[in-house]
Amino acid sequence: MTRLLRTLIVTLGLLFAAPMAFAQNAPVTVTEDRETFTLSNGIITAVISKRTSDLVSMKYKGFETLAHDTGGHSAVYWSHDVTGGQEIISTVTIDPNSNNGARAEVSVKGISGGIKMGHGPGTATDGDFPADIDIRYSLGQGESMIYTWCVFDHKPEYGAASMAEARIAGKLVKDFTWIHVDEQRSGIYPLMPKGSDKYAYTTVRAEQPAFGWSSPEKKIGWFLLNPSNEYLSSGPTRAEFLAHGEHPTILNYWRSSHYGGSFVSVKEGEQWSKVIGPFALYINEGETPEAMWSNARRQQKLEAAKWPYDWAKSPYYAPKSERGTVKGQFRLDGKTSLSGRLRVGLTRTPYDIQLPAGPREVDWDADAKYYQFWADIPNGGGAFDIKNVVPGTYTLYAFADDVFEDYVKADVTVKPGQALDLGTLAWKTVRYGKTAWEIGKLDRSGAEFNGGQRYFELAKQFIYAERFPDDVTFRIGRSREAADWYFAQMPHLDGKAEIVPISGLRGNGRDTPYHIDFVMDAAPKGKAMLRLAINATGGNNVELRPTVNGQVLAPAKLGPHDGALQRHQMHGRWYEVAVPIDAGLLRKGDNRITLTMPAGPLNNGVVYDYLRLEAD
């Protein structure tokens, strides 16, 4: 059947089916003209541009949900679209006439031919990344959502390149006034005070797989649902944009420079491919915004249960029959029970890339090039089961509450369809002595500290100076984390400062000492160790200056700048700082350890996860 005849038949079908408009079980149709594809199922009608691969219209029961008056790129678009290469090929990849109207899918594919593709944030004017890009949209019978996915294919004959920002963005009509980011940020936009910027709406992406907007007046919700995190970057602790904007905007970032950044870098002669998605653009109805968001979260769980989708066909997308599972049991210091949350992942072994500033090792929390497969076990026990793993060789990583050390096991090979049992894995912790005291909870979050629940508030430095005019003095056994320890330590604001959107607070502050007072039953022997778990770091070449009972110790060097302090986050790059202490400096009775953040720019500093003193 020719394409023209097929188009005529389905178009006539639409005309004769007009009285069934918005019928829940209407068959899916696909029509096309020179410029567009149109997918419809009686609930959703979507129009896709053959020239750009943008989703230019998405109507729900006749109501247009996508904006075109945004002053920039409108509707729904991938930052790395199909434009700029040698050729664009548009095809119907799932013909509803072949499956009784059960599903349709269309593909708009850009053939790079070695020309750089992509024109999103941070890209050069001549394009960004040489790869063939296949963008698809799929609609099923009775579904209230469009699925979209993208296949990147860098061929060996294409040149070397590093990718800039990479995401899909959706611009919605202004009827959508209620934003849904996380439990703390759901309400009429803007939620933050006047003068705030978009970074006040970032959150840990893996913990919010359903997000978006709703319209209390129209009683319609518009949500993005990620059924899997395997195609996203930097593992389960990554903070990222989900939604923001004067024009209601939804974002699904899979590579960004935010909070330390992630990387996609290919060499000349390298074959590389990656599938982003499929994920769902979901529209629903409800009496209240919270009811619609609750429905979207339930729908996301249904989508996750379907993963990987059996209708998604591509040589680059591994079907369920080819994927494996990996399970095992950790024995932590001889015990099979862990006290808290456990996260276990299969990721690429750390590798080196060349950046303009020099070589850089990329590990799992900076990688966007390869897939990652993680299991999140909330209540300990030590057993794990990672499902739907694409065949390959990985490094197994694990981290858990109350444990400083990551578990690492290299060369885990998963074969097609394999159920791999790694058995019992011995995980050992490092101890420098018994716990003398601890502050906080070792869980890669600072939510238990003062200010930690509202880490996204602007100008933390103003808040800190108001709450702690004489700085922090924390008395072990008497003070409480939620009241007496501020989650971020920065230079103390003592003069004028200017809030600069996106850039944080412009100005300088004085030294900020955090005092820890504690009593020891006896003087320790040998060495003691102050262990600091750091969630995020502001500024380069920043250090903490410790003293023990007035005795100055060597400065503690901090990690590289990740932008979390200036961009309203507490999740940047996590790491440990260990401060050795000659036990002779500690004594029976009263003791004081002071950690001082030196004077300097107000965006310098650290976000704390946990502190512990170990001593014999």
> Element (H or E) spanning 458, and its range?
none
Instruction: Give tens-digit pLDDT for 369-384.
Output: 999 999 999 987 899 9
Domain 434-615 in CATH 2.60.120.260? The answer is yes
Give the list of residues 6+ apart from residue 5 with CB closer than 8 angstroms, or none. Answer: none
Percent of the chain with pLDDT over 70: 96
Q: What is the mean pLDDT of the chain?
A: 94
Mean pLDDT within 149-178: 96
pLDDT at 356: 81
Q: Output the pTM of the full model.
A: 0.94
Query: Is the confidence at residue 12, as pLDDT, over 50?
Result: no
Q: In this structure, are residues 46 and 137 in contact, taking their beta carbons and an 8 Å threshold?
A: yes
The 10s digit of each residue's pLDDT in 109-131 is 999 999 999 987 778 888 999 99
Tokens of 529: 């160790």
- Tens digits of residue pLDDT in 54-105: 999 999 999 999 999 888 899 999 999 999 999 999 999 999 999 999 999 9
- pLDDT at residue number 136: 98
Tell me if 3-306 shares its fold with 320-427. no
**Spatial distance between the Cα atoms of 113 and 121, rounded to a whole number of angstroms:** 23
Q: Is residue 312 predicted with pLDDT exceeding 70?
A: yes
Sheet holding 419-427, edge to edge: 383-389, 324-332, 419-427
| Residue 189 predicted with pLDDT over 50 | yes
Question: What pLDDT score was predicted for residue 22?
Answer: 61
Per-residue model confidence (pLDDT) at position 325? 98
Report pLDDT digits (tens) over 317-348.
Answer: 999 999 999 999 999 999 888 889 999 999 99
- Which CATH number describes the domain made up of 3-306? 2.70.98.10
In whole angstroms, give the CA distance from residue 163 to residue 150.
Answer: 15
Q: Cα angle vertex 133, ends 156, 278, to 5°?
A: 120
Confidence of residue 482 (pLDDT cuts 50, 70, 90): very high
Domain boundaries, given as residue ranges, for the chain: 3-306, 320-427, 434-615
pLDDT given at position 23: 67
Q: Decide which of 534 and 22 is more confident.
A: 534
User: Residue 21 — pLDDT band, cuts 50, 70, 90?
Assistant: very low
pLDDT score, position 193: 79
Residue 614 pLDDT greater than 90, yes or no: yes
| Number of continuous H segments (helices) and E segments (strands) in the chain | 4, 47
Residues 6 or more apart whose Cβ sits within 8 Å of residue 304: 209, 227, 228
In the predicted structure, residue 261 carries a pLDDT above the cut 60: yes
pLDDT at 246 over 70: yes
| 3-state SS assignment for residue 404 | coil
Instruction: Give residue for tokens 């058995």.
Output: 423
pLDDT value for 13: 38
- Mean pLDDT of all residues in 252-279: 96
With beta carbons less than 8 A apart as the criterion, state whether 141 and 25 touch.
yes
DSSP-derived secondary structure for 53-117: --EEEEEETTEE-B-S-SSSS-SEEESS-STTSSEEEEEEEE-GGGTTTSEEEEEEEEE-TT--B
Higher pLDDT, 231 or 73: 231
> Is 320-427 in CATH node 1.20.120.160?
no
Instruction: Write the pLDDT tens digit of every residue in 427-455.
Output: 999 999 999 999 999 999 999 999 999 99
pLDDT at position 381 is 83
What is residue 11's predicted lDDT score, i.e. its pLDDT?
A: 39
